[in-house]
Structure 1
Amino acid sequence: MGIFKIEGGIRLKGEITPQGAKNEALQILCAVLLTPEKVTINNIPDIIDINKLITLLGNLGVKIQKNASDSYTFQADDVNVQYLETEAFKQEGGSLRGSIMIVGPLLARFGRGYIPKPGGDKIGRRRLDTHFEGFINLGAKFRYNREDHFYGVEAPKGLTGTDMLLDEASVTGTANIVMAAVLAKGKTTVYNAACEPYLQQLCKMLNSMGANITGVGSNLLTIEGVKSLGGCEHRILPDMIEIGSWIGLAAMTRSEITIKDVSWDNLGVIPNTFRKLGITLERRGDDIYIPAHEEGYEVKTDIDGSILTIADAPWPGFTPDLLSIVLVVATQARGDVLIHQKMFESRLFFVDKLIDMGAKIMLCDPHRAVVMGHDFKSQLKATTMSSPDIRAGISLLIAALSAKGTSTIQNIEQIDRGYERIDERLRAIGANIIRA
C-alpha cells in the first residue's frame, strides 16, 4: 500500500491542466456497448477507476485500441454476454461503482444485463433502486440473488418506451435509463432526470450516434427509440471536481495558480461558491487565474448577516463531490461556515483528521459541520492520516500541503482512483510530495 509524504507550508506557482472528467468517462465508456461500430473517445483520464472499467470492457469482448495516452477506440462487435455470469466478472464488477452503468446498454442491445453489488467509496448508502425501477418500467424483469448480492434484468423481447418519474435525480440512474431507452420501441419520457453537464455530454454523444433525445440540459428528457446506433468520436469535458480541488489548493497554500482550459460554461455555481468563501478567481479566456491570497480570504455572510451555509444539491446546485474541499478551505478562512452534506451520511467523518491537525470544526451530526476559520493565524499541524475515499483523500492532501511540517497520507490508492498522476503534477508547480 502506497503513501504520500508531504512537506507543507510551501507556496506553489504555475499552471495546471485538469484531467478529463472521471464521472463523464464512466458513462461514456459504458455507452460503447450500444453499437457494433467503432467509437473513439478522447481526453480519457488515466486513473484507477477508469482503467478498471476499460479492462472490464475488454474482458466482455470489446476490441480496444489505444491511440494515445488519453485516447482509445472501442468496438463492441463481438460481446461475450456469458462473461457476465462468471465468477471473474463478479469479482471484477464488484470492485467498481461505475460498473452499474454497463447494465442499461447490455439490456438494450442484448436483452439482459447482470451486475454484482458495486463497490467504490465508503461514504454511506448509495441506492440502486432508481436504475432498476427504470429498467422495470421499460419492460425488463428484475431478479436479485441475496446470497451473493447479484442483480439481473432481462428483456428477451426487447424494451418498450414509457413515461416515468424518477424517485430521485440520480446521475448514474438517469444515464443508465437513457442508454436503455435509446434502443427501446417507441417513446420514453424521463421526468426528474439529472441534468449535469456530464449527462448532457452522454446525450449529445448518443445523438451523434443516431439516437433521438430531446430536452437535453433539462429535467425532462424525451427519447424516441431507434433500431440501432452507429459509431462516433467524442471528447470528454475537463473534470469540474479536479478544477474545484485546484481552486481550494491555491487558496489554502496562498499560491498563485492558473488552471488551464476549464470549460467555464460547464462549471455552474462552482466559481461563485468559492467566491462566497472570499476566494478571488479571475476568468482569463477559458482559464481560471487565482492570485496568491496574501491577506487571506473572508467568508461572506447571508444578506441578513446569518452564517454562510454551503450545501449540496442536484445540478445546477453545488456538487456534493466538492463539499469536502470547501470544508478544508474554510478551516483557514476569516469567518464561520456551516457545511451541509445532504446526500451521503458518512462523507464528513474525515473531519476528525482535520481536528487532529488543529482545525476548529464542530461536527453537529453525520450531515452537518460548522467550521470556524483560523484566518491563517494558526497553521494546521502535520500528522499521519489515512484516505477514506477519493474526495476526503484530496482534501487531506490539500490540508497537508498547507500544514506546518511533514505529513504522511496512507491508503493513497483512494486518491489515485480519481486523480491522475497527482504527485507528479503537484511537483511541477513546486510541491514537495513523495510517493513511497
Structure 2
Amino acid sequence: MADLIIDGGRPVSGTVRPSGNKNAVLPMLCASLLTDEAVTLENVPEISDIDKLLQYFAAMGSTIDRDLDGQRLTIRHDAAAFKNGQAQLPVGIRAAVLLLGPVLLRNGRLTFDTTAKGCALGVREIDPHLDIIERLGGRIVADHPYEIERQGAMVGADLWPDYASVTATETFAMIAALAEGTSTLTNAASEPHVQALCEMLLAMGAKIEGIGTSRLTIHGVDRLGGTVARVPDDHHEVATYLAIGAVTGGRLTVETDMGGHMPLILRQFEKLGLRFEIGDGAITASGWTRSIAEPYTLEMLPKIEAAPWPYFPADLLPQAIGVSVGCTGDILFWNKVYEGALGWSSELLKFGARVHLSDPHRLIVCGGNQLRPATVEAPYIIRVVLALFIAAIQIDGRSTIRNADPIRRAYPHFVEKLTALGAEVRWQ
C-alpha cells in the first residue's frame, strides 16, 4: 500500500475533466454479456476493477479491444465457455455480484463465492440479489459457495424489495430485460449510474419504462444486440474536484455533462460555505466563506443527510466532512445508508479537528478548529481517503495519508491531474 504526501495550503486552480463513473462502467461491462454482438463503451476510466473484470472475460474466451488513450473499449462475448458447463465468478471485487444475472442467463448455471468484496463499509448483503434471481425463476441449489441454476427461460414477476439497492436494481434490470413477460420493481434505485445502465439496455433493444424513478417496468425481449454507449462522467469526482479547488482558495473549473444531476449536491456543499458558478457544460468552484449556513429553525443543528438517490449521495458525505473541519460553525452529518461508515472520523482528531461520533450513522463536526498537518491512517474506503485528502490539502504544511491506494479504484490519474493544477502532492 502506498502513502500520499500532501503539502497543503496551495491554491488548486485551472480546468479539469472528470473520469467516467466507476459505478456505471462496471454494470455496463457486465451487461455486455447479455448479447453475442460487440458492445463498445466510451469514456471508460482506467481503474483496477475494470482490469479484473476484463481478465475474467479474457479467461472465459471473450474478445477485448481496449484503447486506453482514447478511453474506448470494445468487447464481444461469443466464447463457448460462457454457454456451456459451470461458470465460477471471480472473487476480490464487489462488482462480481453484478455478474450473477448475466452469467446465469448466458450459462444456465454458476458458482458464486460470497467472499467477493471491494471495500470496508461493513456488511453488504447479497440477499436482495438472490431474492430477485429466485423470484424471476432461478434456483439456488447449494450455498457457501452458492450454486445457482435456471431451467429454461427466466420469467417476469412483480417485486417490492425492502430497500432501494443500486446493484440489486441493476441485477433486476439485466435479468428482466431477457425474461419472459413483464417485470416490475417498486422501490428501485434511481442513481445516475443506474440510469446509465438502463439507457444502455434500451439501446441494446430492451423495453424499459420508468428510468430515473423508483418504479421500473420491463417487458422482456427475446434477444439483445450490440451497441455503442458512453459511460457518464462521475458526479462524485466532479464534486470532489470542486471541493478541492474551493478549500485551497483556488478557482477550479470542472468540464462535465453531469450538470443536470448536480443541483442538490452543490446545495449541500454550499451549506459549508463553498461557492459555485454554473456554466454551459462546466461548473466552477469560485470561493469558500467557511461559514455554515444556519437553518431558519434556530433550535436545529445544521445538517447534511446522505441517503439513496435523489438524496445527497453517501459516497460524497466523507468529502463534505473533509471540507467541514475548516469551517467556523458546527454541523451534523447523517449517513442513512452504511452502518459503521463514520468510524474513521477519529483520524480527523490528528489534524486538530473536534468531532463527535454520536452513533454509527451520525457525526458532529465542531467549527473554529486550529488545524495542523498530520500523518493519518486511511481505511480501505475510497471516499474516506478523499475526505482525509480534502482536510489535509487545506492545511499549511506537510501531511501524509497512509494506505491511500483505494483512490486508484475510482479516481484515475488523481495525483497527476492535481499536480497539473498546482497541487503539491505525490505518492510515496
TM-score bin (small chain): over 0.9
Partner of 2:182: 187
Partner of 1:59: 59
Alpha-carbon distance between aligned partners in 2 of 1:281 and 1:83, rounded to the nearest angstrom: 54
Alpha-carbon distance between aligned partners in 2 of 1:157 and 1:357, rounded to the nearest angstrom: 59
CA change 1:421–1:66 in 2 (3 A) is same
Alpha-carbon distance between aligned partners in 1 of 2:253 and 2:414, rounded to the nearest angstrom: 16
Partner of 1:434: 426
One-letter code aligned to 1:71: R
Alpha-carbon distance between aligned partners in 1 of 2:338 and 2:427, rounded to the nearest angstrom: 30
Alignment of 1:115 with 2:116, yes or no, is no
One-letter code aligned to 1:124: G
Partner of 2:403: 411
Q: How far does residue 84 in structure 1 lie from its aligned partner after superposition? A: 9.0
Partner of 1:94: 91
One-letter code aligned to 2:96: S
One-letter code aligned to 2:130: F
Partner of 2:198: 203
- Tell me the alpha carbon deviations over residues 284-312 of structure 1, each in whole angstroms, 9 at most, x when there is no partner: 1121111143xx32111222122112111
Partner of 1:247: 242
Alignment of 1:14 with 2:14, yes or no, is yes
* 8 Å contact kept, 1:84–1:115: no
Superposition map of 1:162-241 within 5 A: 162-241=157-236
* 8 Å contact kept, 1:208–1:232: yes
TM-score (norm 1): 0.93
Alpha-carbon distance between aligned partners in 1 of 2:412 and 2:396, rounded to the nearest angstrom: 26
* 8 Å contact kept, 1:350–1:388: no
* 8 Å contact kept, 1:24–1:198: yes
Q: How far does residue 145 in structure 1 lie from its aligned partner after superposition? A: 2.7
Q: How far does residue 383 in structure 1 lie from its aligned partner after superposition? A: 2.0
One-letter code aligned to 1:389: I
Partner of 1:75: 76
Partner of 1:349: 343
Superposition map of 1:98-177 within 5 A: 98-117=95-114, 118-146=116-144, 150-177=145-172
Alignment of 1:389 with 2:377, yes or no, is no
* 8 Å contact kept, 2:350–2:376: no
- Tell me the alpha carbon deviations over residues 161-213 of structure 1, each in whole angstroms, 9 at most, x when there is no partner: 11111221001000011101111111111111111121111111111111111
- Tell me the alpha carbon deviations over residues 200-240 of structure 1, each in whole angstroms, 9 at most, x when there is no partner: 11111111111111111111111111111100000011101
Q: Is the deviation greater in 331-340 or in 49-58?
A: 49-58
* 8 Å contact kept, 2:120–2:379: no
Q: How far does residue 115 in structure 1 lie from its aligned partner after superposition? A: 2.2
Partner of 2:290: 297
Alpha-carbon distance between aligned partners in 2 of 1:417 and 1:45, rounded to the nearest angstrom: 10
CA change 1:110–1:231 in 2 (3 A) is same
Partner of 1:278: 273
TM-score (norm 2): 0.95
Equivalent residue of 2:266, what SS? helix
Equivalent residue of 1:370, what SS? strand
- Tell me the alpha carbon deviations over residues 37-81 of structure 1, each in whole angstroms, 9 at most, x when there is no partner: 000000111011222222222222221011343110010111524
Alpha-carbon distance between aligned partners in 2 of 1:261 and 1:157, rounded to the nearest angstrom: 44
Q: Is the deviation greater in 96-105 or in 263-272?
A: 263-272
Partner of 1:331: 325
One-letter code aligned to 2:319: I
Alpha-carbon distance between aligned partners in 2 of 1:105 and 1:270, rounded to the nearest angstrom: 33
Q: Structure 1: which 5+ runs fail to align?
A: none
Equivalent residue of 2:275, what SS? coil
Alpha-carbon distance between aligned partners in 2 of 1:264 and 1:109, rounded to the nearest angstrom: 37
Q: Structure 2: which 5+ runs fail to align?
A: none
Partner of 1:32: 32
Alpha-carbon distance between aligned partners in 2 of 1:79 and 1:38, rounded to the nearest angstrom: 16
Alpha-carbon distance between aligned partners in 2 of 1:408 and 1:79, rounded to the nearest angstrom: 49
Q: Is the deviation greater in 22-31 or in 136-145?
A: 136-145
Q: Is the deviation greater in 100-109 or in 400-409?
A: 400-409
Alpha-carbon distance between aligned partners in 2 of 1:258 and 1:179, rounded to the nearest angstrom: 36
* 8 Å contact kept, 2:351–2:372: yes
Equivalent residue of 1:281, what SS? strand
* 8 Å contact kept, 1:60–1:83: no
- Please tell me the root mean square deviation across aligned C-alpha atoms, in Å: 1.8
CA change 1:280–1:364 in 2 (3 A) is same
Alpha-carbon distance between aligned partners in 1 of 2:80 and 2:386, rounded to the nearest angstrom: 37
Alpha-carbon distance between aligned partners in 2 of 1:60 and 1:346, rounded to the nearest angstrom: 37
- How many residues are treated as equivalent by the alignment? 425
* 8 Å contact kept, 1:211–1:229: yes
CA change 1:413–1:334 in 2 (3 A) is same
Identity %: 34
Q: How far does residue 332 in structure 1 lie from its aligned partner after superposition? A: 1.0
Equivalent residue of 1:323, what SS? helix
